[in-house]
Amino acid sequence: MVGIAMPAPDRHVLERRDSIVAALKAIVPGEGVIDALTEMRPYETDALTAYRQMPLVVVLPETVDQVSRILRYCYENDVKVVPRGAGTSLSGGALPLADGVLMSMMKFNRILDIDFPNRAVIAQPGVTNLGITRAVEHEGFYYAPDPSSQIACSIGGNIAENSGGVHCLKYGLTTNNVLGLEMVLITGEVIRLGGKHMEAEGYDLLALMTGSEGLLGVVTEVTVRILQKPETARAALVGFPTSEDGGRCVADIIAAGIIPGGMEMMDGPAIQAAEDYVNAGYPRDAEALLIVELDGPEAEVDFLLARVEEIARANRAGYLRVSTSEEERLVFWAGRKSAFPAVGRISPDYLCMDGTIPRRELPRVLAGMRELSVKHGLRCANVFHAGDGNLHPLILYDANKPGELEAAEAFGADILRLCVAVGGVLTGEHGVGIEKRDLMPEMFSEDDLKQQQRVKCAFDDKHLLNPGKVFPVLHRCADLGMMHVHKGQLAFPDIPRF
Amino acid sequence: MTHSALTPTTAEETRDFLAYAAAEELPVEILGQGSKRALGRPVQTAHVLDLSRLSGVEVYEPAELVLTAKAGTPMAEIEALVAGAGQELSFEPMDFGPLLGEAAGKGTLGGLIGANLAGPRRIKAGAARDHILGLDAVSGRGEIFRSGGRVVKNVTGYDLPRALTGAYGTLAVSTLITLKVNPRAETSASLALNGLSDAAAVAAMCAAMGSSAEVSAAAHLPEGICQRLGVAGEDRPGPVTLLRLEGFGPSVEYRFANLARRLAEFGPAERIGDAASKALWQAVRDVIPFAGSRNPVWRVSLPPASGAELMQRLRSIMPVEGFYDWSGGLLWLQMLDGEVHDVPLRAAIADHGGGHATLIRASAATRAAVPVFQPQPAPLAALSRRLKAQFDPKGILNPGRMVADA
């Protein structure tokens, strides 16, 4: 393990391993409990593979009742639990704990209800994101949030991470597309939020659960909104001599009242890497490449593409191509979608960062990254969800060279500090997990973080669910509950007291 | 009871007062302009925290699609500002004034967030909770905290801004709020279908929402209701089913033609032009058909396709009239005998696909006696109480506004 420390394992729990395994086997019969070292190996990491840890034991429940009994047992016996979906987290959200039960939800893999009149699908949490679209596309529907891991990632994991994708600006994040949840608290209590109706009652716990990174409850059922697919989609591929020109073009498109279905930018190094890899016909002499995709009724798409062309030319576009067929549109995207493997080809390892910035700050942040690249002696390629300001710098390094991973992590941390400094945030869609945990104080004050942890206390007063993630310092709930009272100091003496 | 009002002009003054109130355990009612004071259970406290002087837009950047303003900023000011740049709050926040017997056009940004306002565009664009990006707030502990940010895509920490939206000021007092704004549509039109039964209307609305026409609002107004709105004419006595299309001119025309074809089985489509359509939807949004009366009004949120069945059942057990918004997913009900009928109403909702009912208009005495918000199952209610205690351990913020004190 490198830089990030996890809480020290509880020796008393490690010593009780046999009895914990036996208790879990009594709840989940058959092959649902995995305690052999070799068989636990696939669970030792998620997609943040620089970090690995074997769990105490792995359990794969199949029913809500089993989930409830496992959690209640762990609560009563002070055993930590790490929930896991498909294990595609890029921030280490599903990294196991040596003294914790790893609970995989992947046996919850059925779609329970497809309701076209209400435009809703009820699915178990282990169903893949793409699985939902596949189940409804014969009627022309789809599920809008489309993280790039959508073929593998689970809808329960999408809830935990509030996953995005390239279409967020127009269609929203997971939180804007989820209608209801069933979840189990660490105490074993089963709670239902929302449903097929549009607004949940009472406090918006659905909003709290979405993006809570497995720290508040374990999701056992999800109700999502589905949409009718846009009638058509066409894209423009635009090359600019500088990133400033590209950034201004993005701002002008939005100022013209156009919200594209997707708007992606790549910088010079990313363009070269992608072009070497898939030969999509990208202009190699451009410093910034923009893909603007418009979707909707044909008449609208044609009308708006003409406006986008005008705006691009006014911003010194040196290269401009508009897709005339579905094949051509897909070729435009091929380079962008293969950006990560393309970079993987020119470097043994890379680290993918995930800050979000106000769009207007793009030139400043790109310039800052060029300086940081020199400072840390590592190369960096950038892909950018330009529509919503979400930046994915790819830092190239070689793990076999001593010190390079550390340098890459330091480079990444500097990039995220830069994002916060220009008014942005640490993570747009990958989550805090362990990766950005220790950077949280860059963005939040101690009071900010304490109030967030008090939310955790309302759900999980013993800090048993996924501890060590998201928050750099764990405070006991009893300490967080204390109030600093100022009795005797009458700050408002003119106020009548009762 | 004598009211003593405190009118802070900064977040720090707000914090100092709430720290004091927490230490002394003094309950406080949180107010902006008081336009929604009659929503929820009545709050009776000796002290009022009046945020109307914590006012002003701090940053508005049209190209970034964001606006940051202090909580007491009048909505009228914000809406005029963004309209000047060709933008709007796309969740189309309703104005409760006319329905609650207050003047129209009042209300502050803080109140909009506290009540999680939405309008007919809810079915396409979501509610206030879908557009809040970040906030600064003061908890009932008297501590300032910040959450969220000024960018659309942000998963850094729990989503407190959304969770505080719709909490009616019972968790924290927001002082500074950042919202996402959107371009305003260039033009709009409504497709009207005449004479449909409730069941046929809901089927038509669901078919429209399931099409690629990008319908941005879908309402059904039964006969008496549309006469009150003046949409009924001699040749069409009502009922009327309305489907709104918004966007660039050529797109609206194209989608109108497609939608009319798609819904041909429901009868000929009539076109209502931009200006008339806008006026009509504002009346639907603000529940104008039920303004000017004192009869109890309920807002029922339910699965859209269940709307007609539920309405039929309710008509058979209570003297009620109603109309549908959100493609049938929002039912506005007015009780014609002055009674609230909360128990049979909520039982019928549970029997017809679920959902929940909120009592919007009733006397203070009634709102104190009847659960205004949908009662929750015990584990969920307990979780909500624990959450409240983490933000406001002394219970000083708007006590009793959402649920009666235990």
Which pLDDT tens digit goes with each residue over B151-206? 989 999 999 999 999 999 999 999 999 999 999 999 999 999 999 999 999 999 99
Dihedral angle over CA of A224, A173, B173, B367, nearest 10: -20
| Residue A253 per-residue DSSP state | H
Helices and strands in chain A, H and E counts: 18, 18
Q: What is the CA radius of gyration of chain B?
A: 22
Question: Which positions in chain B touch A217 (Cβ < 8 Å)?
Answer: none
Separation CA A248–CA B200 (nearest Å): 49
Question: Tokens 């209502």 correspond to what residue?
Answer: B272
> How many Cβ atoms sit within 10 Å of the Cβ of residue A409?
19
List the structure tokens of A213.
């990174």
Separation CA B212–CA A301 (nearest Å): 13
Question: Tokens 């305690």 correspond to what residue?
Answer: A35
Q: Measured over all CA atoms, what is the biggest interatomic distance in chain B, rounded to whole angstroms?
A: 67
Contact A424 B383 (CB under 8 A): no
Report the Cα B44 to chain-centroid distance in Å.
Answer: 24
Query: pLDDT over 90 for what percent of chain B?
Result: 94
According to DSSP, the residues that pair with A390 across neighbouring strands are A356, A385
pLDDT the model gives residue B235:
66
H/E run at residue A221: strand A218-225
Substitution target in B1, B154, B376 with the highest count of A β-carbons within 10 Å is B154
Kindly state whether A355 is in contact with chain B, defined as any CB-CB distance less than 8 angstroms: no
Substitution target in B12, B122, B147, B158 with the highest count of A β-carbons within 10 Å is B158
Residue in A172, A204, A427 closest to B166 by CB: A204
Secondary structure of residue B188 in the 3-state scheme? strand
According to DSSP, the residues that pair with B243 across neighbouring strands are B191, B218
Instruction: pLDDT band for A187, please (50, 70, 90 cuts).
Output: very high
According to DSSP, the residues that pair with A59 across neighbouring strands are A33, A103
Helix pair angle (A17-27, A64-76), 10° resolution? 150
Instruction: pLDDT band for A1, please (50, 70, 90 cuts).
Output: very low
List the structure tokens of A320.
């401009």
> How many Cβ atoms sit within 10 Å of the Cβ of residue B285?
21
Q: Are A181 and A209 in contact (CB under 8 A)?
A: yes
According to DSSP, the residues that pair with B192 across neighbouring strands are B242, B270
Average pLDDT over residues A458-487: 88
Helices and strands in chain B, H and E counts: 13, 18
DSSP B181-222: -EEPPSEEEEEEEES--HHHHHHHHHHHHTSSS-EEEEEEE-
Give rounded-to-5 percent helix, strand, coil for chain A.
40, 20, 40
Q: Which residue has the higher pLDDT, A290 or A299?
A: A290
- Measuring CA to CA, which residue among B348, B242, B225 is closest to residue B293? B225
Separation CA A387–CA A294 (nearest Å): 12
List the structure tokens of B369.
């006696």
Instruction: pLDDT band for B231, please (50, 70, 90 cuts).
Output: confident
| Residue B160 per-residue DSSP state | H
Sign of the C-alpha dihedral, residues A134, A387, B66, A161? Answer: positive
Q: Are B276 and B187 in contact (CB under 8 A)?
A: no
List the structure tokens of A160.
């935990």
Average pLDDT over residues A37-54: 94
Q: Which residue has the higher pLDDT, B224 or B368?
A: B368
Contact B130 A172 (CB under 8 A): yes
Separation CA A348–CA B165 (nearest Å): 46
Residue in A176, A193, A451 closest to B130 by CB: A176
DSSP B97-115: TTTTTS-TT--BHHHHHHT
Contacts of B203 (CB under 8 A, 6+ apart): A117, B266
List the structure tokens of A264.
């992606």
Instruction: pLDDT band for B321, please (50, 70, 90 cuts).
Output: very high
Q: Which residue has the higher pLDDT, A278 or A182?
A: A182
Q: Which of A114-128, A158-172, A472-486, B266-280 has the lowest mean pLDDT?
A: A472-486
Whether pLDDT at A477 is above 60: yes
Kindly state whether B13 is in contact with chain A, defined as any CB-CB distance less than 8 angstroms: no
Q: Are B183 and B87 in contact (CB under 8 A)?
A: yes
pLDDT the model gives residue A486:
55
- Measuring CA to CA, which residue among A460, A493, A475, A498 is closest to residue B396? A498
- Measuring CA to CA, which residue among A456, A498, A197, A9 is closest to residue B329? A197
Average pLDDT over residues A455-469: 97
pLDDT the model gives residue A5:
86
pLDDT per residue as tens digits for the range A331-390:
999 999 888 889 889 999 999 999 999 988 988 999 999 999 999 999 999 999 998 899
pLDDT the model gives residue A126:
98
Whether pLDDT at B226 is above 90: no
Instruction: pLDDT band for A482, please (50, 70, 90 cuts).
Output: confident
pLDDT the model gives residue B232:
65
pLDDT per residue as tens digits for the range A203-233:
999 999 999 999 999 999 999 999 999 999 9
Burial class (CB in 10 A: 0-12, 13-18, 19+), A299: buried
Average pLDDT over residues A157-179: 94
Question: Tokens 């104005």 correspond to what residue?
Answer: B95
Contact A196 B86 (CB under 8 A): no
Which amino acid type is present at position A339?
A: A
DSSP β-ladder status, A349-352 and A390-397 = antiparallel
Separation CA B257–CA B266 (nearest Å): 15
Contact B390 A454 (CB under 8 A): yes
pLDDT the model gives residue A492:
63
Whether pLDDT at A488 is above 80: no
H/E run at residue B136: strand B132-139
* Distances, alpha carbon B398 to alpha carbons A54, B19, B35, B173, in Å: 48, 15, 15, 10
pLDDT the model gives residue B1:
45
Separation CA B51–CA B113 (nearest Å): 14
Tell me the nearest-neighbour CA distance from A167 into chain B, angstroms. 11
Separation CA A279–CA A250 (nearest Å): 25
Cis before B371? omega within 30? no
For residue A105, is it left (φ>0), alpha (ψ between -120 and 50) or beta? alpha
Order of strands across the sheet that contains A218-225: A111-115, A120-123, A218-225, A178-184, A190-194
| Angle value at C-alpha A56, between A54 and A61, nearest 5 degrees | 105
Contact B155 A430 (CB under 8 A): yes
Kindly state whether A454 is in contact with chain B, defined as any CB-CB distance less than 8 angstroms: yes
Tell me the nearest-neighbour CA distance from B235 into chain A, angstroms. 31
pLDDT the model gives residue A497:
45
Half-sphere exposure at residue B231, Cβ-oriented, CA atoms within 13 angstroms: 35
Separation CA B286–CA B258 (nearest Å): 29
Whether pLDDT at A160 is above 90: yes
- The pTM score is 0.96
Question: Tokens 């030139």 correspond to what residue?
Answer: A363
Whether pLDDT at B265 is above 60: yes
Tell me the nearest-neighbour CA distance from A15 into chain B, angstroms. 33
Kindly state whether B303 is in contact with chain A, defined as any CB-CB distance less than 8 angstroms: yes
pLDDT the model gives residue A490:
52
Question: Which positions in chain B touch A425 (Cβ < 8 Å)?
Answer: 149, 151, 154, 156
Instruction: pLDDT band for A167, please (50, 70, 90 cuts).
Output: confident
List the structure tokens of B206.
């669901």
Kindly state whether B5 is in contact with chain A, defined as any CB-CB distance less than 8 angstroms: no
The length of chain B is 406
Sign of the C-alpha dihedral, residues B32, B37, B43, B47? Answer: positive
List the structure tokens of B390.
């983490």
Separation CA A246–CA B174 (nearest Å): 37
Separation CA A177–CA B153 (nearest Å): 14
Substitution target in B156, B178, B246, B391 with the highest count of A β-carbons within 10 Å is B156
Instruction: pLDDT band for A491, please (50, 70, 90 cuts).
Output: low
Q: Which of A255-264, A436-445, B1-10, B130-139 has the lowest mean pLDDT?
A: B1-10
Q: Are A156 and A148 in contact (CB under 8 A)?
A: no
Separation CA A98–CA A78 (nearest Å): 14
List the structure tokens of A444.
């939040």
Separation CA B196–CA B199 (nearest Å): 8
Separation CA A87–CA A209 (nearest Å): 18
> How many Cβ atoms sit within 10 Å of the Cβ of residue A276?
13
Whether pLDDT at A264 is above 80: yes
Whether pLDDT at A394 is above 50: yes
DSSP B23-66: HHT--EEEESSSTTTTSSS----SEEEE-TTS--EEEEEGGGTE
List the structure tokens of A211.
């993006």
Residues of B (260-299) whose Cβ lies below 8 Å from A: none
Average pLDDT over residues B107-125: 97
Separation CA B327–CA B217 (nearest Å): 7
